[in-house]
Structures are given as structure tokens and as C-alpha cells.
Structure 1
Amino acid sequence: MSRLRNKVAIITGGARGMGAATARLFAAEGAKLVISDVLDDDGARLAAELGERALFVHHDVSDENAWHGVLDRAVAAFGGVDVLVNNAGVLLFRTLAETSKADFERVIDINLVGTFLGVKIVGQHMVGRRHGSIVNISSVDGMKGANGLGAYASSKWGIRGLTRVAAMEYGHKGVRVNSVHPGGIDTAMGNPYAEARAEVNKRYAMVPLQRVGEPDEVARTSLFLASDESSYLCGAEIAVDGGMLTGQYYVGFPGAPGV
């Protein structure tokens, strides 16, 4: 396949989970890759697996200078950047009362500030070339409320707003910016205790598809947005959530499972 033939992509948080799934899919579709993460061993192994078309760069996305370094490495290795997937993120389960200022700021710095820096720095590189696609990974929790996720949801709502602004400022300069909003996905972050799939799926019984999502299912959406197939999408918000945002079933009512 060659949906990303001759394209160069930076994928943050690319060492595992959704980022690694995206890297493997992009590579299979012909892209050259810069995989960035703070997980050096995992990132290096993935780059080695993908071969000469991929390189790994240690990268703290909240560090502005580090962003310039990643961009410089990409340009030096591959000549330019066509796609940015802002995937790096952290999750914090804690009530607002239990969340310290330091906790809140850490989540915002990685999830939202990190995305902002990528949009600003790599986005300006793309503007200079008059083409590019930026895919910001938000969350369904950037489109609804969620108890115990105050810091995380705040960061993901911020990414949603940032994406819309960037779409307006960059769209007329040839750069498309869109956001993806995953629901529950079976990754080390979403399933930290590595529970069996059947057990995890029980928590999604009230969602239309009644199961947790796979990293590849998010990666395929990012691939579509990165490719020329989505050439008229800019500022779009795509939920990859098994129908979670659609609503939850009223048990026993007509149309619910088993009724």
C-alpha cells in the first residue's frame, strides 16, 4: 500500500500504544517516520523494527527547544515534514479535590502545551512549504464531562479548541488541522493493569459497540487524516469511540441489548 508514499511524518508518543500502532501503519503505507517519545528503549526497538525509513528521537513534548531539535532531525534525515500526529499524552485519575496544582500543570504541560508547541513549530514549517496535515489526538473526554478526569479532560478540551483555531489560521496556507477523539482504547494507558479483554469489555456494555477499542482502529483514522484522501477536511472532530458519545442504553427499554 502507498497511501503515504513520499510523505514524512512525526509521531509523538510513538513508542507504544496508539502511537506505535500509528507508526507501524504509516510505515506500511509508505511513510518515512520520526518516532518521538521519552520511552527510549521502546522507541529504539520500534524504529529498528521499521528499518531505515524510521528514526527515534528522545523528546519531551513540553520542552520548546526539544521540538526544534525533533524538527531539525526530521529535516536532516528526510528533507521535510508532511504530517504531524500529536499523540503524546498522560492520564490522571483523580478528583478535583485530590488534584494538586502540580498534578494539574503536569497533565496540561504534556497534553495541551505539548500539542500547542507541535502545532506552532512544525506547523510553521509546513506553512513554509504550503502543505501538510496535523492530526491532534484529543479524547471523547474533550467532548463531554468525566468524573475523576478533571486535569485530563481539561487538556483534551483545550486540544479541541486549539485544533479549531489552528485550522482557521493554517487552512488557507495549505495546512489541514483535524482532531481525533478516541474512546476507551486497550493500551497500557487505558488498561494499566492489563486486564483480560472480556473483563474490560464489561465496562463498555452500555456503549453501542459494547467493547473497548483497538489501537489500530485509532491509527486507521489518523492515516485517513494524514493522507490526501481527506483533502477537504479541516477543523474536523472525529470520534473513534464505539458510539460512546452517541449515548448510553437505558436498560430494559426498547432497542437496548437483549430487549
Structure 2
Amino acid sequence: MSGDSGAVLAPPGVQRDGGWATRGRLAGHVAIVTGGTRGLGLAMATAFLQEGASVICAARRETSLADLTAVHGDRVRVATVDVCSAESVQSLMDGAMRQFGRVDILVSNAGVSRNGKIVDLGEREWREVLDTNLTGAFHCTKYVVPCMDAAGGGRIINISAGMSSRVAPGAAAYSASKAALEMFTRASAVELAKKGILVNCIAPGFVNTGMYEPLRDDERLRSRYERMMVSGRPGEPSEVAAAAVFLASAEGSYVNGHVLEVNGGLLWS
């Protein structure tokens, strides 16, 4: 990036302010991962920790992450947040600043899916999906910007899905929310670039956790969707997490406004 845009992240091995440790591609950086206490969110949080970051795992329900804390100590924090609430998200950001004094990385991963064909889908379910998947990312982006601006820049990673661009009956709400999230990512990237904040999106395919679990346990559905997987298998959470580390690290410093599909090759008909 050009010198006048501000350094977003220090190169690997370069010590940051305050005497942070220098090991790992994300050493000295602070990350917030929403939906970060289980599934894909937990995998990304774990990968960030392994690369030296301090991580706040935020979710609606209080969860103990004793295993992570035992390994990474005070670099792991757990916070409760409802991304549908602007006040809750603002409180999350304020807490992060009190605890760590900075926020360098945000992963908007919290999401829900409510299946139902349009004629059967209730307005409540529709609003829940849009409020969580899209408005939640809006809240997180809006309220993290002052934190990142104060630090001279940052990285925002939104988590979309393969179904953002592929049609499936009964997935209108989920697909619409993720397609809109991808355009929100591009718009955010344009608006925030001058602040040194890069905004990108990861669109996973079938990943062996979370929403894939009902398919994995249903032989009929599993065989149907396995035919669409060019790689012959679902992805592992660690493979998506590796993409998130890339986008959050110095290696991703010239990637902005991009939707990265991590799906092993995904056919659709």
C-alpha cells in the first residue's frame, strides 16, 4: 500500500507498539470474531491465536473456552453480543478498546439460516435472517471503524456463503442476505480504503461444521450435495481459517473489496 494511506498491519516479525511479542503473522494485533465460540468462527479465532493475535470471541450466549484459555491465556477473551442490536455491538467495541486499547481485525461471522419457500416463510424468520446476516455486519462495520481509524487502519472480513450466488429452493432469505453482504463488502471497501481499512469477504462452500452437519447426517441429502463437490469432500474449518489469516495478515495487504470463494470447486445445477 502507498505510504500516505497509513500502515494497516506491520510486516511479519516486526514488533508493534507496547512491547507485543513478535512471533506469528498476526503478532501484536487484536481481532474480534463474531459467532466466535463454535464452528467456523471458533476455527478462525483459533487460527488467529496461533498466529499471535489476541482474540475476542463474541457470541449471543456465554460460552467457556477453557481449552483455548489454557493454551493462550489472557490473549483469549469471550464477550456476549447481539449483532442485531447497535447498542450491543457498540458495547462490544468499547469493551475491546478498554481491554486491549485497539482493534485491528474484525470477522463478521455471526449468521443464521431459516429454510422455507417464499410462500411459506414467515416475516419473522425473514427478518431474523436479514437482521443477523446483513444488518449485523453493518453494525459491526460501523462501530469498529473508529477503533481501526485510531490504530491507523485494519482488516474487516465478512463471511458469506456459496449460496450467495447459487439458487436453491427454500433458501431465499439466506441466499439474499449473503448476496447483499457481498455487495456491502464491496461498498465498504470503497468507502474505507482511505482510512487504511481493507474489507474483504470469504464465501465458503460446504464445510464440515455448523450448517453442514444436518446434511452430513442425512445420507440422502449428503449424496445429493457430494455430487456438487469437485474436490470430492467438504472443506475443513481450518482451510477456511487459513484464508482468513491470509486476508488479515501482511500477505493480504493489496486485496480489497474481494469475495474469496473457498469451496474446493463447487458445481451447481
- Length-normalised TM-score, structure 1: 0.88
Task: Provide the residue aligned with 1:254 in structure 2.
Answer: none
Distance in structure 1 (CA, Å) of the matches to 2:37 and 2:152:
29
Partner of 1:160: 182
Q: How does 1:75-90 map to 2 (within 5 A)?
A: 75-90=97-112
Aligned length: 246
* Deviations 1:42-80, CA, capped at 9 Å, x for gaps: x54465344210110111111111111111111111111
* CA offsets 1:149-194 (integer angstroms, 9 cap, x no match): 1110111011101000000000122000000001111113221376
- The match for 1:91 is 113
Query: What is the DSSP-based 3-state SS (H/G/I as helix, E as strand, rest coil) of the residue aligned with 1:192?
Result: helix
Equivalent residue of 1:103, what SS?
helix
Between the aligned partners of 2:66 and 2:172, the Cα distance in structure 1 is 34
Q: Secondary structure at the match of 2:226?
A: coil
The 2-side partners of 1:57 and 1:171 are apart by: 28
* Greater alpha carbon shift after TM alignment, 183-192 vs 103-112: 183-192
Greater alpha carbon shift after TM alignment, 93-102 vs 110-119:
93-102
Output the amino acid matched with 2:127: E
The match for 2:191 among 154, 169, 172 is 169
Unaligned runs of 5+ in 1: 250-259
Change (3 A) 1:35 1:153: same
Match of 2:48 in 1: 26
Q: 1:129 aligns with which of 140, 151, 162?
A: 151
CA RMSD, Structure 1 to Structure 2 (Å): 2.1
Aligned: 1:15 with 2:9? no
Picking from 62, 69, 90, the partner of 1:48 is 69
- Higher mean Cα deviation, 134-143 or 201-210? 201-210
2:98 matches 1:72: no
| Counterpart code for 2:120 | E
Using the alignment, how far apart are the partners of 2:223 and 2:248 within structure 1?
A: 30
1:225 aligns with 2:235: no
Paired with 1:209 and 1:231, the residues of 2 have a C-alpha distance of: 29
Give the Cα–Cα distance (whole angstroms) in 1 for the partners of residues 214 and 62 of structure 2. Answer: 19
- Specify the SS of the correspondent of 2:115: coil
Q: State the Cα distance separating 1:196 from its structure 2 match.
A: 8.6
Give the superposition deviation at 1:206. 3.0
> Cα distance, 1:207 vs. partner?
2.3
Alpha-carbon contact 1:178-1:236 (below 8 Å) kept: yes
Counterparts of 1:46 and 1:171 in 2: how far apart (Å)?
37
- Is 2:216–2:222's contact at 8 Å kept on the other side of the alignment? no
Residue of structure 2 in register with 1:39 after alignment: 61
Query: Which amino acid in structure 2 is aligned with residue 55 of structure 1?
Result: R
Query: What CA deviation, in whole Å up to 9, does each residue of 1:11-53 have, x standing for no partner?
Result: 0000100000011111010000111001313x54465344210
Establish whether residue 237 from structure 1 lines up as the match of residue 237 from structure 2.
no
Q: Secondary structure at the match of 2:202?
A: strand
Secondary structure of the 2:213 match is: coil
Gap runs ≥5 in structure 2: 1-22
- Maintained 8 Å contact 1:11/1:23: yes
- Structure 1 contact 134–176 (Cα < 8 Å) conserved: yes
Describe the SS at the equivalent of 2:73: helix
Match of 2:28 in 1: 6
Displacement of 1:195 in angstroms is 2.3
**Aligned partners of 2:203 and 2:262 also within 8 Å:** yes
Is residue 201–residue 210 contact of structure 1 (8 Å, CA) maintained in 2? Answer: no
Supply the distance in 1 between the matched residues of 2:255 and 2:226 (Cα, whole angstroms).
30
Counterpart residue number, 2:205: 183
- Kept in 1, the 8 Å contact 2:39–2:209? The answer is yes
Identity %: 35
Instruction: Give me the whole-angstrom Cα distance separating, in 2, the residues matched to 1:150 and 1:27.
Output: 35
Q: Which residue of 2 aligns with 1:115?
A: 137
Question: What is the Cα deviation at residue 130 of structure 1?
Answer: 2.5
d(CA) in 2 for partners of 1:186, 1:180: 16
3-state SS, counterpart of residue 117 of structure 1:
helix
